[in-house]
Amino acid sequence: MLQTYFRQEGAHPMSPSPSCAGCGHASVCQASGYDRAELSGLRHIAERIGPLRTGEYLYRPMSPFRAIYAVQSGMAKTVAVDIAGREQVLAFHLPGELIGLDAIDREFHDNAVVALGKTQFCRFPFQAVRQISAEQPEVPWHLMQAASQRISRLQLSGGNYLAEERFAAFLVDMRDRRALLGLSADYLPLPMSRADIGNHLRLTTETVSRLLGRFRQRELIALDRQGLHVLDLRTLRELGQSLLMN
């Protein structure tokens, strides 16, 4: 039944994993806290999905809510679609970060999650999550923390801030999240398009390109084809300070 569901949604078949032994991305999960004894139940119900390729869906709008997910490797984006068919990029997800918590109350997903580059996910069936939550009270607390972090990240696209402030805060936020996850913090892979970044920050694609050029000229960053190097974190943090403090 579950495998049939994922074929319908376009995702690759799941590989059930009774434990995380042998996973090449265990260090990311350790940095996210999943190696703690009080969260051990999550490791034992994890199922692997993927790899998915750029543009493939983990789930689509109106899919029934049956599980929460975490990026195992790669990156993904959450996209909302309004009644006119316009897309809005709500969030970008890094390895170790949870996805799908917003659907718990409604029991269906009102947005889509799309892979950015080659991406693998871990799936945590929600019925199993509920069962282990009764035995391990730290599990729901961990989920609440993840939901709170997602809400704070959404604030980057709100408010009346200058384009330069938004973009600097976006880069610092990505850098800080990677550092917390134990990933390389001074280099930011950017598998998403400039149009996706602009959509997320409520900026035009042209504005994102101009800001990349401006930050490079000021030697705040250095660009390559896959991402960018953070050269002057202090200045970037000062530029985005108004958003980062909220």
**17-57 pLDDT, tens digit each:** 444 554 544 555 554 555 555 455 566 778 889 899 999 99
Q: Check the CA dihedral 235-190-201-174 and report its sign.
A: negative
Q: Any idea what the CATH number is for the domain that residue 103 is in?
A: 2.60.120.10
Report the alpha-carbon distance of residue 185 to residue 174 in Å, rounded. Answer: 8
At 57, which helix (H) or strand (E)?
A: strand 57-59
Quick one: the chain helix, strand, coil %, rounded to 5? Answer: 45, 25, 30
Q: Are 183 and 226 in contact (CB under 8 A)?
A: no
Assess whether 128 and 50 both reside in one domain: yes
- Bridge partners (DSSP) listed for residue 108: 64
**Which of 198, 98, 88 shows the shortest CA–CA distance to 139?**
98
Assess whether 190 and 148 both reside in one domain: no
Confidence of residue 96 (pLDDT cuts 50, 70, 90): confident
Assess whether 168 and 211 both reside in one domain: yes
pLDDT of residue 55: 94
Q: What is the mean pLDDT of residues 137-153?
A: 61
Domain boundary among 155, 182, 210: 155
Task: List pLDDT tens digits, range 226-239.
Answer: 999 999 999 999 99
Assess whether 125 and 171 both reside in one domain: no
Domain boundary among 100, 127, 155: 155
Q: What is the mean pLDDT of residues 151-172?
A: 78
Report the alpha-carbon distance of residue 148 to residue 151 in Å, rounded. Answer: 5
- Residue 194 pLDDT > 60, yes or no? yes
- Residue 140 pLDDT > 50, yes or no? yes
Confidence of residue 155 (pLDDT cuts 50, 70, 90): low
Does a cis peptide bond (omega within 30 degrees of 0) precede residue 51? yes
Report the alpha-carbon distance of residue 144 to residue 151 in Å, rounded. Answer: 11
Domain extent for 173: 160-244
More confident residue, 136 or 106: 106
pLDDT of residue 53: 95
Q: Check residue 42 and report its DSSP letter.
A: H
More confident residue, 188 or 104: 188
Assess whether 14 and 132 both reside in one domain: yes
Assess whether 26 and 114 both reside in one domain: yes
CA atoms within 13 A on the CB side of 227: 16
Assess whether 180 and 70 both reside in one domain: no
Q: In what order do the strands lie in the sheet with 227-230?
A: 187-189, 227-230, 221-223
Assess whether 49 and 135 both reside in one domain: yes
**Which of 55, 102, 45, 49 shows the shortest CA–CA distance to 76?**
55
pLDDT of residue 164: 94
Report the alpha-carbon distance of residue 111 to residue 36 in Å, rounded. Answer: 31
- Bridge partners (DSSP) listed for residue 57: 114
Assess whether 33 and 59 both reside in one domain: yes
Q: Any idea what the CATH number is for the domain that residue 175 is in?
A: 1.10.10.10
Assess whether 31 and 139 both reside in one domain: yes
One-letter identity of residue 154: L
More confident residue, 111 or 182: 111
Q: What is the mean pLDDT of residues 200-211?
A: 96
Q: How many domains does the chain have?
A: 2
More confident residue, 66 or 136: 66
Q: How many CB atoms lie within 10 A of CB 221?
A: 22
pTM summary value: 0.79
**Which region among 10-14, 49-53, 201-205, 242-246 has the lowest average model confidence (pLDDT)?**
10-14
Confidence of residue 242 (pLDDT cuts 50, 70, 90): confident
